[in-house]
Structure 1
Amino acid sequence: MAKAKDLTLRAFVLGVLLIAVGAGRAQTIFSPSQTDLLGLAFADFIDNPEPDMAALQGLTAVGGDAVQVTFKTDFDINDNLYRVAMEAPVTADLTGLDAFSLTFSDPVVAPSGLPSMAAQLFVRSAGGAVFTGNGQAVSLGTEPITLSITPDQIISLGGDPTDITSFGVELFGGDEFLGGYDGAMATLSTSPEPPTLADTVLFSWENGGDLLGWDSTPIVAGAHSVAVRQGAVGSPAVGATDGNNALEITRHPTASSFEWGTAFSLDAFANTAPPVGDYNNDGGVDAADYTVWRDNLGSAFELPNRDPGESGEVGAGDYDAWAGNYGAVGGGPDPVVQAEIDTIVAALNDPDAYSIAFDVTVEDQFPRSNPDYLIIHLALAADGGPENAGDPFFQNDNGLVAGIGTGEPTTVELLLSQFNDVGGDSDTNGMSLSDVGIYDQTGYLTIHLATNMNVLADGNDVTITIDNFRVRSIVPEGAASAAPEPSGFVLAALGAAAIASLRSRSARRTA
């Protein structure tokens, strides 16, 4: 299950494939220094009556750019969770920068017996309001996680990214019966400069109303409806960030805030039937099938791909069916669909692959209510391969959407290292996509998309658009300087046809 190393991306037929190579410069960020981090102090965000049991219990410098914080969480009766907040002054101007970032680095330690820890980053700008970059907390683990707030996110919430006056973090964790964390630790550090990235666009929905397979059967039917929001040259649709069209997803009212409601699926075996007489099920009728017939003659053995007109014991009629179809082939994967699967898997398994990203736009839903928060969850399902006991289900829950109701696109970036196998029955359960990759001979691939938002009291739909769905890869050092400017998109391939029929997730395939 090692990641594929030398897979070459091929042109594939899901609309337009574009490669935006090396944006000519590395992304730039502002991140607090170790001195800034040592200025963190307890911030009382909990609405409980005093005394407040939450506390910042200690700050310890680690190396030259990190600080280990020790803390205690308390139950917040209004938000119904355990948390603690801490804040420090800082002077930052994000003009010309991509984000305000902070990294939660290894280790993250929770007291024994308590559930996992989560965190969110916030900043204050002139005026004093708190602007969060993560509307719900991102789960922390043993791997470093960088949280970022972009200038656009700050502006969309009424802040001023040119005048950041303080920053802070909220840490969440505790248990209904065991209580809050006491003596928990997390290590905060200055974020490293993000790598220069190259984009491989997989979907941009430019072929009229073609959904490009994003109308496949979802895990939960009825939670979403999908359509292509179409624009025109010189008048792109709202939400279109790569061309003129975008995928429109309408989230319908449900009892649950979280719903898997949209799916893209490719199954190379969905419409391929093996020929009659292929008794060893290898895709062709040949001498090997005669051997299977001979070895089971007169028995009740159930011949694979038997003539429907035959029944009972294996007999002369089965021989006639084999002889009449000798040389027939079929039953293998559809080569066009398999090529599409191989291309996506190659992009994800590339050793330099970094993330899946897409642009999300949420217009003002007036006269309907805007959701208070929106998180997009993505999962990848594929064949686990013959050496895996089950099929992996790699899930990433960190797709917080900013700018709700503004009509301005924001980029959701989901790190491949944070796609974890939660399928439960595979040998890779609990491992990340970046660690193990996707089985490179899988015959099916499904991308599941879920929306998570507060259940609106008015019970109305919420409409969002998604565009520029892409895999981002790290450009090796030394290669970025030779890359064209970001406006110089290289046309790598034009799609010829899209797979449009509904395809459900198939049974596990083995090579």
Structure 2
Amino acid sequence: MKTLSIAGAKRRFFRCPAGRSALLTLLAAGSLLLVSGQSARAIQVDLSLNLLYEVPTNPNSAGAWQLVAKSDGSGIAALRVLLNDNAVSPGLMAPMGTVNSSNPAGFSQRYIIDRGSYSELFIAQPATPTTPETGVFYGFGTLQNGAPNFPGKPGGSNSIGPSLTTLTGVPGLPWAPGDVLGEAAWNTAAIVATGTFAAGQLPDFFSSGSETHIASTYTSIGTLTTIGATSMPSATTITTIVRDNLMGLAGDFNLDGAVNAADYTVWRDTLTLTVPNGTGADGSGNGVIDQADYDIWKMNFGAPAMMGPAVGANSVPEASSLLLLLAAAAPLGIAKYSGKTRLSARNGKKPQSR
């Protein structure tokens, strides 16, 4: 298993040989498919940039990032995502392979382009049918433990679409093995790309004027020799969210950055109350203020923020384990963009619109 390197990470990009003009040509070619088989039904594509900090109690530490996507319909056909320049060492993880011995299958059209202040990630599936089989992977972004429908798919994986008997060379299956941050709502999100970020640098989505995200999805499933209809870009809404594995200082019930007598007062004044899991003095995350929460406060008494204190039963997996998970998990037109939210795992805080 290959792990993602954090220390001394340098910016590395795959460059499109012909630059932006080649990408625009590809988008234009893909749009021909939409003209003949597009659907006007509203479709939503949800993007999550998952930040996995090396030290989950320190938001200034280095870490790894993971871009995942889920969608309505029958899976993602093409996707263009912009990330700021703090998301370094990007590598595309969307699956691809070969059918009919030489025809591309899956997300074989792919580019990462360094645009200075941001990077442009692009993946797309075949826009024209091939014979005797067309290598489209349906269900990317809609199926947990997803895989193309072919004889070599992993045991227990889920597939939709025609059986591709000639498909070979598809690494990284299954896609969407489950959310790395443990949120069931994101279990069907497929891994699009991974990378790293340096200490003190915050990866985020990038959007400026006409430079924004683009997506198209399949609204129907094709046959071995036809490609399913795809969504109109103007009818595709894209949402973004940044999530992370940051955790609050265990025992810091009043969120003042230290574990002290004031936190004991919060625990004492709310003892026996039922609260949303992980909020207030519920250090154990069981939804009840009880003795377990006192024990967590006592265990961490005197600890300042960002010192990596001992934690209780509500601790998240260590960053090293999450990085291993990341390594293993390893046209169009402007879509409607609904803005982005940021969600931190710490203290049960809800995401806020930005």
TM-score, with length taken from structure 2: 0.28
Higher helix share: 2
Larger radius of gyration: 1
TM-score, with length taken from structure 1: 0.21
Higher strand share: 1
